[in-house]
Amino acid sequence: MSDFLPISGSLDGVFGAEPLHRAASSAARAAAHPGAPETTVRGADEVELSDHAVFLARLREGADVRADLVDRARLNIERGAYDSDAVIDGAIERLSRDLDLLA
């Protein structure tokens, strides 16, 4: 005996199985309710972004990268020009202000 239903779609012998009932067509619904407007009401979509996603989006929108400044900063890092607490604290404060982390 086969474990599969016949291709004809018969549900004979399947415990608890019932035939599917198709949704009424729009014409059938209109005939059942004459004079009712034929509008389809759809729910509104809603999107919520996490604070992390908003933060990442703001980073992606950032200013264009100036290669000359990046190269100069890399050179200064190699030379040790930024190896002081005052310089590092100033950079952190400016970065935080730029990212609105210090409101």
SS3 8: coil
Calpha distance 94→102 (Å, rounded): 10
**Which of 9-18, 29-38, 41-50, 51-60 shows the lowest per-residue confidence on average (mean pLDDT)?**
9-18
pTM over 0.85: no
13-40 pLDDT, tens digit per residue, is 555 555 565 665 666 666 766 766 666 7
Calpha distance 30→20 (Å, rounded): 22
SS3 86: helix
